[in-house]
Every structure is written in C-alpha cells, then in structure tokens.
C-alpha cells in the first residue's frame, strides 16, 4: 500500500510556483519640511526679525537702495495698545520717514477685541477720507486692502496683534500690489525660524 501512495505521488502534476510578490519601496523623506504659519506673535525689536530686507527684495523683484529704519512705539493704554513697531524700508540716510516707499508695522493690544476694534477704527478713518476698501486673504485670514490716490495698504489682525503693510502708489505695478502687500503681511506675522 505504501508503494501505491508513493507511485500516486509521482504521477501528480507539479504545482506551479507563483512569482514572488513585489513589495513597493517607500522612501522616507530625508528632510522635514515645515510650513511657517502666521501666529499672534510677540513683537521683536528689530525689523530683520519681522520682514528681512532680502525677503522684501525677493518679493519686490529688485534690490533696495536704502536702509531700513525701525521705530519702536510706546504703549497707548487709551487704545488698549501694549506695544508697536514700524519698519520703514528703502530710505537713504537723509530722507524723512514719510519718504519711505514701503512700511510694515505690527502692534499688540490688551485683547483680541481691542485689536479688532483698532483695525475697524482705522478702516472707518480711511473710508471717511475717500479710500476704497476690499476684502483680501492674508494667509488663511480675512484682511482689508485699502486704496487711496497715494498709497495701498493691507491691514488686519490675528488674535491680539494687528498688522499693516503699506506701499506708495507706483512702488510696484498696481496689478502686483495686492499680492506683494499680502505676502509681506503674512511674513510679518510669521516668526522666523532660528538659524
């Protein structure tokens, strides 16, 4: 009987061998990419920590010929303002601040409502002077683009911090102005990574 079983085993067709399963190779990234995010930030005391000159040059598409001047403001308890900094770009040493073609400013307030109220008051004042105001996106936030005969500005708030980026009319072509000012506003509210 044992012989018959062995013989039967020899007459069976061999089973087809399946090819090995191909396992895809998944490569993990070698670097971590972090997208900087806008935050309700503490105010630095240096404009290079708000929007560095090389970032301005990159966004504008040309080199600045002048310097950056920093004005650190004081608290204004009547407005709820706790701190302020304004950055005046592309000035030569003899020009007054009012000649700056680009200004970026941040201010902090006692609470979110005070910051939002300050933005609303500023927009009301601009409208009263005849400016047009339109809604724009700054990062994922709603802000306002203000147009006057002499300048354009983007103004908004995030938490207790207000931001404004303003440029004189003609600083860049008008069809590029909104993109420039919103990009600078995003940068101003995005703390720089430590090197």
Q: What is the spatial distance between Cα 21 and Cα 136, in angstroms, rounded to a whole number?
A: 53
Q: What is the spatial distance between Cα 59 and Cα 89, in angstroms, rounded to a whole number?
A: 13
The rounded percent of the chain whose pLDDT value lies above 70 is 80
pLDDT of the residue at 28: 53
pLDDT confidence band for 26 (50 / 70 / 90): low
pLDDT of the residue at 192: 80
Comparing C-alpha atoms, which of 180, 193, 192, 195 is closest to residue 104? 180
Rounded to an integer, the average pLDDT of 26-46 is: 70
Whether 154 has a pLDDT exceeding 90, the answer reads yes
pLDDT confidence band for 32 (50 / 70 / 90): very low
Say which residue, 11 or 113, is predicted with more confidence: 113
Q: How far, in Å, are 42, 59, 68, 190 from residue 46 at the CA level? A: 12, 20, 10, 14
pLDDT of the residue at 129: 96
Comparing C-alpha atoms, which of 62, 74, 35, 76 is closest to residue 172? 62
pLDDT confidence band for 65 (50 / 70 / 90): confident
pTM of the predicted protein model: 0.79
Whether 53 has a pLDDT exceeding 80, the answer reads yes
């Amino acid at each position: 009987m044992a012989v018959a079983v062995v013989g039967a085993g020899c007459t069976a067709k061999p089973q087809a061998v399946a090819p090995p399963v191909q396992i895809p190779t998944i490569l993990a990234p070698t670097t971590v990419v972090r997208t900087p995010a806008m935050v309700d930030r503490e105010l630095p005391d240096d404009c290079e920590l708000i929007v560095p000159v090389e970032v301005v040059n990159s966004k504008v598409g040309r080199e600045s010929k002048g310097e950056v001047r920093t004005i650190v403001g004081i608290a204004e308890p009547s407005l709820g303002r706790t701190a302020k900094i304004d950055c005046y770009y592309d000035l030569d040493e003899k020009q007054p601040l009012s000649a700056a073609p680009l200004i970026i400013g941040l201010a902090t307030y006692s609470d979110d409502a005070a910051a939002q109220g300050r933005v609303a008051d500023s927009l009301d004042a601009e409208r009263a002077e005849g400016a047009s105001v339109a809604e724009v996106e700054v990062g994922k936030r709603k802000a306002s683009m203000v147009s006057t005969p002499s300048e354009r500005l983007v103004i908004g708030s995030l938490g207790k911090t207000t931001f404004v980026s303003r440029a004189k009319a003609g600083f860049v072509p008008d069809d590029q102005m909104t993109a420039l000012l919103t990009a600078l506003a995003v940068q101003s509210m995005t703390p720089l990574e430590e090197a």
